[in-house]
Amino acid sequence: MGAQKNRSKCRLVEGKLRSCDNTHMEQFEEYCKKIEFEAEITEFKNPTRTAEEAAEALKCEVNQIGKSIVFNNLTTGKPLLIIVAGGLTVDEKKIEEVKGWKIEKMSASDVEKKTGYVIGGVAPFGHKEKIQSLIDQTLYNYQFVYASAGNVNAVFKVRVGKLAQLAEAEIIDLR
């Protein structure tokens, strides 16, 4: 219980009107329509801001959750999105070692400005502006993963290869 699959714009979750703002999720849905990707969205009664909360609600492994984390790429001066397995963290020194980029986490207000989404609900694609993306190789251990659908209480299920394609993400080993 606690989750409801729904594709309509006006959503009820467990018989109650959603309490969180739909704007970010509508941005995600509109982008999916534009690229003709039918996202299988699952919404939760309570926010799932962390990978652990989402995995518990979905009854899946935490590494099946693809977290979208936004950084400032200090080397290029542009934003960088890294889709990482839920149980892992991004080692900034590893990114510098592998890619030659110095990065730092982006502030919450800048994340929303650049992506159109809030932290805890950043979708891996469909951002306000084009953002270079990397995807953690660990996610390829699973046939399907779950990623944010643009809201802190909504995820979508997707094949890992399709996720990388939609996010135009380069595969990287973050371990």
Percent of the chain with pLDDT over 90: 76
Quote the Cα angle for 32-35-39, to 5°: 30
- CB-CB contact of 40 with 4 (8 Å): no
Tell me which of 5-14, 18-27, 95-104, 127-136 is least confident.
Answer: 5-14
Which of 4-13, 14-23, 53-62, 95-104 is predicted least confidently?
A: 4-13
- DSSP codes of every residue in the chain: --EEE--SSS-EETTEE--S-SHHHHHHHHHHHHTT---EEEEESS---SHHHHHHHHTS-GGGEEEEEEEEETTTTEEEEEEEETT----HHHHHHHH---EEEPPHHHHHHHHSS-TT---SS--SS--EEEEEGGGGGSSEEEEEEEETTEEEEEEHHHHHHHHTEEEE---
Separation CA 35–CA 47 (nearest Å): 27
- 160-175 mean pLDDT: 94
Total-model pTM: 0.85
What CATH number did the domain enclosing 127 receive? 3.90.960.10
pLDDT of residue 18: 39
Q: How far apart are CA 28 and CA 158, in angstroms?
A: 14
User: Residue 52 above 90 pLDDT?
Assistant: yes
* Other Cβ atoms within 10 Å of 13 Cβ, number: 19
Give CA torsion, residues 140, 112, 40, 35, to 10 deg.
-90
Domain count, the chain: 1
> Which of 41, 66, 6 has the alpha carbon at shortest distance from 156?
41
Q: pLDDT value at position 23?
A: 65
Identify the domain containing residue 125 by its residue range. 3-172
Q: How far apart are CA 28 and CA 32, in angstroms?
A: 6
Indicate the pLDDT class of residue 22, thresholds 50, 70 and 90.
low
What is the arithmetic mean of pLDDT over 100-112?
96
Strands 40-44 and 16-17: unpaired
Interstrand relation of 144-151 and 154-159 (parallel, antiparallel or unpaired): antiparallel
Max intra-chain CA distance, the chain: 50
At 17 the pLDDT is 35
Q: pLDDT band for position 49 (50/70/90)?
A: confident
Average pLDDT, the chain: 87
